[in-house]
């Protein structure tokens, strides 16, 4: 299992949360709404919706299914810079 930060919701934070949502939507386009709302309950239920066993790490399972897929760099930078709170991180304060 990859080393990554896990927020208090049990979801990965930062780029890993972005990757989780992106890969989930690639796997099942019906989940596109997750990318619109970033609702934590919807994100938490991705594994069950995709039929990934609860004992399995959802992000790792999705990475295994699509090893060469990653979020577009410009979108990832935009989300990490302007919408870090949606990725489970506190916004940077100058």
Determine what percent of the chain is predicted with pLDDT higher than 90. Answer: 62
Is 43:56 a contact under the CB 8 Å cutoff?
no
Residue closest to 25 by CA, chosen among 10, 13, 36 = 36
- Chain segment 40-70, per-residue pLDDT in tens: 888 999 999 999 998 999 999 999 999 999 9
Residues in the chain: 94
Query: Is residue 36 scored above 60 in pLDDT?
Result: yes
Instruction: Identify the pLDDT of residue 3.
Output: 41
- pLDDT tier at 94, thresholds 50, 70, 90: low
Instruction: Identify the pLDDT of residue 10.
Output: 75
* Domain boundaries along the sequence of the chain: 15-82
Question: pTM value?
Answer: 0.83
């Amino acid at each position: 299992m990859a080393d990554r930060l896990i927020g208090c919701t049990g979801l990965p934070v930062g780029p890993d949360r972005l990757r989780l949502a992106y890969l989930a939507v690639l796997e099942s386009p019906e989940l596109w709404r997750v990318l619109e709302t970033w609702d934590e309950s919807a994100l938490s239920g991705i594994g069950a919706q995709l039929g990934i066993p609860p004992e399995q790490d959802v992000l790792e399972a999705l990475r295994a299914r699509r090893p060469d897929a990653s979020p577009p760099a410009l979108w990832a930078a935009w989300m990490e810079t302007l919408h870090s709170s949606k990725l489970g991180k506190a916004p940077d304060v100058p």
